[in-house]
Amino acid sequence: MNAARARLVALKTGVWLACLVPLGWSIWRFARGEASVDPVEEWLHRSGKTAVIILVISLAVTPVRRLTGWNGAQKFRRLLGLFAFFYAVLHVAVYLYFEQGLAWSFILEDVTERPFIVSGTVAFLLLVPLALSSTRGSIRRLGRSWARLHKLVYLAMAAVLLHYVWGQKADIRDPLIVAGIVVLLLGVRLYYWGRKRAARAAAAEG
């Protein structure tokens, strides 16, 4: 194994472990009896916030690559995206099992009637095809449409932000910070997209 490959493996292992910290922290706190008086709320919030943070980091990969020219970042995007989905699954599972006790009539009422839950459900459902199509085989099979399909992540992100804002009682600082970062990341992408278009137009004229 050459040095570059060894470094990549080490970095990936590091990202893996970092992504598992929030889950490990929850388990550790609960096992030691240190979890909040309301462990269900603690788990819901931690899994939800972790999913959002990792999703935003995965969205930052391309802008970071553009700005720094470091192509290595690209190698972590799938890993991050799948971990974001993993925490989203935990979030949904905690909601279904602990918050609602698998009472499907209440769950159905929530996911159809309450904008706060509807937006969360939409966000989750949009992430499902992205996670399922992240295997090497899917990427190869889907070809160009893979990239188009994965643009759904922006729609998912918008739904996540709505869910995040609507979930707050009065203090919406956290979701606003996240929204600000997402807008910034989108801005970087739009800037490079605009430049590319201009360059293409110039080339066509020339």
Residues that bind other proteins (CB under 8 A): 35-41, 98-99, 101, 103, 106, 109-110, 114-117, 166-167, 169-171
The nearer residue to other proteins, 86 or 95, going by C-beta atoms, is 95
Q: What's the farthest any 2 CA atoms get from each other in the chain? A: 70
The nearer residue to other proteins, 140 or 173, going by C-beta atoms, is 173
Work out how close the CB of 93 gets to other proteins at its nearest, in angstroms, rounded to a whole number: 15
Work out how close the CB of 19 gets to other proteins at its nearest, in angstroms, rounded to a whole number: 24
The nearer residue to other proteins, 140 or 169, going by C-beta atoms, is 169
The nearer residue to other proteins, 27 or 38, going by C-beta atoms, is 38
SS3 199: helix
Work out how close the CB of 41 gets to other proteins at its nearest, in angstroms, rounded to a whole number: 7
The nearer residue to other proteins, 116 or 192, going by C-beta atoms, is 116
Q: What is the DSSP letter of 33?
A: T
Interior/surface letters 99-134, b for 16+ CB within 10 angstroms, e for the rest = eeeeeeeebeebbeeeeebbbbbbbbebbeebbebb
Q: Which residue has the tokens 């720094």?
A: 68
∠ CA(20), CA(85), CA(152), 5° rounding?
A: 145
Work out how close the CB of 173 gets to other proteins at its nearest, in angstroms, rounded to a whole number: 8
Q: Which residue from 19, 175, 146 is spatially nearest to 86, judged by alpha carbons?
A: 19
Work out how close the CB of 65 gets to other proteins at its nearest, in angstroms, rounded to a whole number: 36
